[in-house]
Structure 1
Amino acid sequence: MNQFFKRRGVKHFPGVPFFGNMYATAFLKKHFLDEIQVIHDAFPNEKYVGFMDFTMPVLLIRDPELIKSITVKDFDHFTDHHNFLTKTSDPMSDHSVLFLKGDRWRQMRTTLSPAFTGSKMKLMCPLIMENANHIIQYLHAHESETIQVDDLMCRYANDVIVSTGFGLEINSLRDRDNEFIKIGNDLFDFDLKQRTLFILSSFFPNFNKKLGVRFFPKETNHFFRNLVASTMDYRTRENVERPDMIQLLMEARGEWSLDELTGQVFAFFVAGFDTTANALIMIIHELALNPQYQERLYQECRQLKEDKGLTFDTLNQLKYLECVINETLRKWSPAVLMDRICVKTYELPPPREGGKPYTLKPGDVVYNMVNCIHMDPNHYPDPHKFDPERFSEENRHNIKPCTFSPFGVGPRGCIGMRFAMMELKVLMFQIILNFTIVKTEKTMDPIKLKPHNFNIRALNETWVKFQKRK
């Protein structure tokens, strides 16, 4: 295993038999990001380095120009994602736009794109505002308490997805054990069974698939399948229309099977639940550790409220809030990396001057670095410092292409990027307008990541006080 990259002239860290460079991640000794950060930082002059994801050899691409070539310029050679879950038999993930391949992906992407146009999002914005108001009411009622932010933000993200995606009204702060919040938490908690399946499927992918091993419980599949089928039947029968994901899929129903439609609903839920919650948690945590930025944020939000009020059309006027969000996403992007599968033979330039080119063959996998590049001092001086000014109008020109990509890059970039930014801005606007975020003795400083494959969360969770503004 350790000879694979050596024979090809690519620098790498020797791995552990069977586990490769994933041993510490597999046994929750390190966060996956910390694992790859060490390898990224160890070879500062390489365009790419070797990484063993269990038994699968992967190239970690650490050169922004090369990332641009792979994700944009030569996209036709790298059209597909590597599906971490097709080693098991999970129809929901197999059929989702996240993991569809080739022409089927293009067709589904085209089908879903109208859901995220400005006109559709404008209709969804009041639903998001209503869910943000639930959070504000809760914080007013618990003003003197130290709040566990992780759970609170998951409930907000959950309710936004359910209302804008499925047309259902839900308040997870009141109905604390609703089916959606239970499924969302279960999906990302990674219990022992899921972790064992993930490791076994990495060792024996074909064996697992033949056995029909599922990564997600059958009940989750049935829940989403029944949700899609019953909602569509009800709306057809009662002639009901709503500006949401289900409505869009109904209009395209003739082209896709029920399993394929269910896959998109599941993808919307998965993509929106955890990544949005993670981003909000880290924004709040960083503002608690860096209170000097809150006054300027407050003045911007107060001014907008007095001038025009918050609407979909005025969201873009929150320039400083956007800087704060972007700086948080630079330090703590939920993306971690952009994976791609080579679908046509492709020659990479040598990893260093004097090295040999590397030929990628169909089926080979590359991980285009996101967070590691965000934290590279060559691209962002003093990268551990939280500094929203990096993204100001005056400084934006200093950001090189493909050195800031929290939502991905190119045709397979996140289809819901504008929706996610709207969701983040709406809630943060309301929080900043009503409260000062205060660090407590339980607020982790500096932030260290909780060992996990995917979640970007503080090791001891995020705890702060929300002090009412006078």
Structure 2
Amino acid sequence: MWWILVAAAAVAFGYWFLTRPRNYWAKKGVKQGPPSFILRDILEMVLRKRSFAEMVEIVYNMCPNTRYSGFYQFFLPTLVLKDPDLIKQITVKDFDHFVDRRNFIPEDSDPLWSKNLVALTGRKWREMRATLSPSFTSSKMKYMFTLMSQNGEQFVKYFLKKNETVVTVEMKDTFTRFTNDVIASTAFGVECDSLGDRTNEFYMMGKDATDFSGFWKNISFLVYMLAPKLGKFFQLTFFSKRVAHFFTNLIKSNIRSREKLGIVRPDMIHLLLEARKNGLKHEETEPQDTGFATVAESEITKNPKNTKTEITDLDITSQALIFFFAGFDSVSGLMCFMSHEIAVNPDVQTRLIEEVDETLVACKGKLTYEALLGMKYMDMVVSETLRKWPSSGAMDRICTKPYTIEPKFPDEKPVHLEKNDVVWLPIFGLHRDPQYYPEPERFDPERFNDENKGNINPYAYVPFGSGPRNCIGSRFALLETKTLFFYILSYFEIVPVEKTQIPLVISKKHFNLTAEKGFWLGLKRRSRI
């Protein structure tokens, strides 16, 4: 009989061990979802029963009419911030309590990953952000615009050569090739034509670095989430050794040749080398910015006092690689969703083409940086795409020192957050909330016209995050997207084809936001060409 008692005790202990973390928020007086098996919240996503974006929206709506609520990422208690004022309070006003983001990979497990801006924490993050931020101002974007424009022209020439009335293309593959070439040129100083040379080494390595659809990569993340020490023991890394070796050698040889031959290109390597030698000054932002979604750089990271960061070749490689990682997938994803919405909303496309034609005439057939940024309707369309289809479903912050959320309503009590507690910005949920965006499923660029955009709560629209720890590359992403669509719509209409999925369904197989059956659309030559 003793074995029955042992088994019962084991079951009881197992149940207690699994359910104990579910009491974390309840003990703090925070509303949370109904009691359920500890792994269910995330396990369905890992097993591809649900997309990450869908999970975020479910979590966001789990406890209605609350400023915040609790949920659990496996054993990790997470506080979901749903009130824009509270988001502002935590990410901006009291940022010094929430400086860091959660890092899945231990600092010394993957040096190439741990040195990038996303992974850095505390003082190291502040110093690197201050070092890099001058490279992403409006004036530096104008500096890189020439390279983007060249890639845009190269893109449309490829499809014009096909001499077909309608060219059917899978947009995800097509746009990642474009973003690959832009990043290769602007960040690595390498010229590529990934549409013409479809298996060039740079593109294939980039694809490898950003592919997270594989079973073993998901298992690696799962191990680091549940047992970081175990992941470190098995030497699991974010980037494969092959990818790390390729990009490290590429950057080193590029730097050596520039220093030896005195080569100067308007790209990120040049800016980082300048920062290494002399430092870069963060000039005031020009009156004309890259769009509504652009996030301003915080004063915290503009030329902080007594900050001097040594920039090594590894630092440059790490920043260029994370820049590549974000641009390759996130920006191409934005382009895919924008192309789909343009195709299925012909009234939007007609108006956008009219603006493209007017701009082309105004700048006498040669697109300029200033002319592109002056396109109001283009910005409205991009802004609405980021509203409906944000590149990141959620972002987190780590409480770096004790913090109290004071009660605002009678049913609230002070919530005391401890060091290392995690808070979430549920971007996908915020952007689909009808109290901020009536008929959230409808694609409506008019939300962002001059009359309406002033009514949008800036902390309920956070496609690039919020506060000093926002996405440093927002200007770059917006400029790259607008540049490409200007060139596409100068020559083509984007139209649905037989393989176009209408309505679009989010894929459950990928962690990132993408379409279940791909983005199949047609490029139809405009009659004036």
- What interval of TM-score do these two structures reach, taking the shorter chain for normalisation? over 0.9
Q: For residues 312-327 of structure 1, what are the structure 2 equivalents within 5 Å?
A: 312-327=369-384
How do 1:43-442 residues align onto structure 2 when only pairs under 5 Å count? 43-86=63-106, 89-140=109-160, 141=162, 143-190=165-212, 191-253=214-276, 255-308=310-363, 309-350=366-407, 353-442=410-499
1:428 to 1:77, Cα distance in 2 relative to 1, 3 A: same
The CA distance in 2 between the partners of 1:79 and 1:345, in whole Å, is 12
For 1:454 and 1:412, locate their aligned partners in 2 and report how far apart those are by CA, in whole Å: 22
Find the aligned partners of 2:393 and 2:438 in 1 and give their Cα distance.
20
CA distance in 2 between counterparts of 1:454 and 1:15 reads: 25
Q: How far, CA to CA, are the matches of 1:352 and 1:213 in structure 2? A: 46
Q: Is the 8 A contact 1:2 1:14 kept in 2?
A: no
Query: What residue identity is the alignment partner of 1:40?
Result: Y
Moved more, 374-383 or 228-237: 228-237
- Whole-angstrom CA distance in 2 between matches of 1:360 and 1:97: 25
Residue 201 of structure 1 and its aligned partner are, at CA, apart by 1.6
Q: 1:91 to 1:329 in 2, by over 3 A?
A: same
Gapped regions of structure 1 (runs ≥ 5): none
Q: Which amino acid aligns with 1:6?
A: A
Matches of 2:82 and 2:131, distance apart in 1? 33
CA shift, 1:11, in A, is 2.4
The alignment of Structure 1 onto Structure 2 pairs a total of residues equal to: 470
Q: Give yes or no for contact 2:28–2:416 (8 Å, CA) kept in 1.
A: no
C-alpha displacement at 1:378, in angstroms? Answer: 0.5
Shift of the 160–365 alpha-carbon distance from structure 1 to 2, 3 Å rule, reads same
Q: Which deviates further from its counterpart, 378-387 or 406-415? A: 406-415
The TM-score, its normalising length taken from structure 2, stands at 0.85
Given that 2:56 and 2:394 are in contact with CA atoms closer than 8 Å, whether structure 1 keeps it comes out as no
Structure 1 contact 18–203 (Cα < 8 Å) conserved: no
- Taking structure 1 as the reference length, the TM-score comes to 0.96
Change (3 A) 1:440 1:349: farther
How far off its partner does 1:347 sit? 0.6
Contact 1:279 1:332 in 2 (8 A): yes
Q: For the residues of structure 1 that align with 2:206 and 2:410, how far apart are their CA atoms?
A: 47
After TM superposition, which residue ranges in structure 1, 4 or more long, deviate above 6 angstroms?
none
Distance change in 2, residues 1:222/1:313 (3 Å): same
CA–CA distance in 2 between the matches of 1:36 and 1:402?
17
Give the secondary structure class of the aligned counterpart of 1:174: coil
Q: Deviation at 1:16?
A: 6.1
- The structural deviation recorded for 1:139 is 2.6
Equivalent-residue separation in structure 2 for 1:16 and 1:229 (angstroms)? 51
More off after superposition, 83-92 vs 271-280 = 83-92
Q: Taking structure 1 as reference, are residues 339 and 7 closer, same or farther at Cα in structure 2, changes over 3 Å only?
A: same
Q: CA deviation at 1:83?
A: 1.4
| Aligned-pair CA distance for 1:138 | 2.6
Could you tell me how far apart the structure 2 residues matched to 1:356 and 1:447 are?
42
Based on CA coordinates, which of the two structures has the bigger radius of gyration? 2
Counterpart code for 2:168: T
